[in-house]
Amino acid sequence: RFTQCRRRASTDFTGEAVSGLFHCSQTRRSLDKCWALSRPSDAQRLWGSMGQLAVTNWNAPLVWEGTFDPVVIDAIYKRLDPRLAVVVLAVGKYTRFLKGFLESAEKYFLVDFRVTYYIFTDNKQDVPKIELGTGRKITVLDVPSATRWQDVVLSRMKWATIAIDNQIRNEADYLFMMDVDSVFHSRFGAESLSPLSAVLHRGYYKTTRNYFPYERRGTSKAYIPPDEGDYYYTAAVWGGYLEEMYKLVKYCYEQSEEDAKNNIEAVWQEESHLNRYLLYNKPTKVLSPEYLWSDYDQVPADIRVVRISQLVKNYAEVRPNGGQ
Ligand SMILES: CC(=O)N[C@H]1[C@@H](OP(=O)(O)OP(=O)(O)OC[C@H]2O[C@@H](n3ccc(=O)[nH]c3=O)[C@H](O)[C@@H]2O)O[C@H](CO)[C@H](O)[C@@H]1O
Ligand SMILES: [Mn+2]
């Protein structure tokens, strides 16, 4: 089954919806055979002893450790040699997180792939010099300082939209948006790639939609009615094809501008707009909370690998206006 998969993939691979093993393709005919051969049985949809789902109800892969072969999936994507862009903001005191973020990414993030880190900062001189692997580089871009952290997190959508238009579109095939207060601890490889990949928020993957912290005020553009919702996704790691990400980033930017005109700010800023978009435009791959954990929380048994973890930080000290 696996050899077949690999052979088809390497001859016909189109770059979509491949995650190794049984979720090979849902979208492209060229991989249909592979998909049919390895279509998950009902039993396989539930993965692992903890009974996690390995496929969403719209048949997108739900990626956990053990649901893909790391060597095969990297090899499949490596043949395409995609150019990957990572966008992070490091505004104000957040430049202190760059060293740990970049050094750990060099160890674990799509190793041997071409990666450009786009660092948006108001503080260029504090961007550390990091030794990078072959084919990997850093581009530093200026953004203004801010007095509210809410403005910084929202402004990510604006600066990314502008930078994609001006520059990144010509330099990347895939784009990831990430929080900089993060450290990679384990492999984050090609199994994460798809047209649009989103990560389950660690705080809500075991609860039902009624508990998701979606925007519930009808006056905000991020509004989601009470009886709707698939998952709650984090805004700290998300990625996909450059043009798919562009649509989504621009959507978050424009929706938050609309909100601002109406004197409202969504409850979790861009994360709220992101969640609304992904409800009506389903991601083509969903990544488990392995892809974004937090040092604030213990690691439960169903999280077998922590790939990225958010650091514990002194919110009051590090943010311009404090706050949780
Ligand atoms: C784990 C998770 O779900 N994280 C989300 C949560 O963040 P956090 O509480 O983790 O927010 P945060 O303080 O890390 O801010 C998000 C990111 O914005 C940048 N930044 C922020 C403030 C600042 O003064 N300077 C600066 O550069 C930096 O890249 C940072 O990593 O809520 C935020 C706002 O709703 C975002 O949705 C985050 O993605
Ligand atoms: Mn963060």
Is 52 within the bounds of a domain? no
Please give the average per-residue pLDDT across 83-95, as a whole number.
Answer: 97
From the candidates 215, 265, 270, 271, which is the catalytic residue?
A: 271
Please give the average per-residue pLDDT across 249-269, as a whole number.
Answer: 98
- From the CA of 94, how far away is ligand 2's center (Å)? 10
Return the ligand number nearest the Cα of 296.
1
Is 34 within the bounds of a domain? no
Segment 142-162, tens digit of pLDDT: 999 999 999 999 999 999 999
Is 64 within the bounds of a domain? yes
Q: Report residue 278's pLDDT band, with 50, 70 and 90 as the boundaries.
A: very high
Distances (CA, A) of 45 to 32, 59, 288: 18, 10, 14
Three-state DSSP at 241 gives strand
Which of residues 1 and 226 earns the better pLDDT score?
226
Distances (CA, A) of 137 to 75, 223, 277: 22, 39, 31
The pLDDT value recorded for residue 72 is 97
Cα 324 to Cα 317: distance, rounded to the nearest angstrom: 11
Structural domain boundaries enclosing 120: 59-318
Total domains, the chain: 1
Is 137 within the bounds of a domain? yes
Helices 149-166, 242-261: crossing angle, 10 deg rounding: 140
Cβ atoms of 14 and 30 within 8 Å: the answer is yes
Is 209 within the bounds of a domain? yes
The pLDDT value recorded for residue 246 is 98
The pLDDT value recorded for residue 286 is 98
Residue 211: give its domain's CATH number: 3.90.550.10
Q: Whose CA is nearest to atom 25 of ligand 1?
A: 91
The pLDDT value recorded for residue 11 is 30
Which of residues 323 and 84 earns the better pLDDT score?
84
Does 5 have pLDDT greater than 90? no
Is 53 within the bounds of a domain? no
Is 301 within the bounds of a domain? yes
Please give the average per-residue pLDDT across 153-178, as a whole number.
Answer: 97
pTM for the model? 0.88
- From the CA of 234, how far away is ligand 1's center (Å)? 10
The pLDDT value recorded for residue 34 is 42
| Percent of the chain predicted with pLDDT > 70 | 84
Is 1 within the bounds of a domain? no
Probe residue for ligand 1, chosen from 101, 153, 176, 297 as the CB with the greatest number of ligand atoms within 8 Å: 153
Return the ligand number nearest the Cα of 235.
1
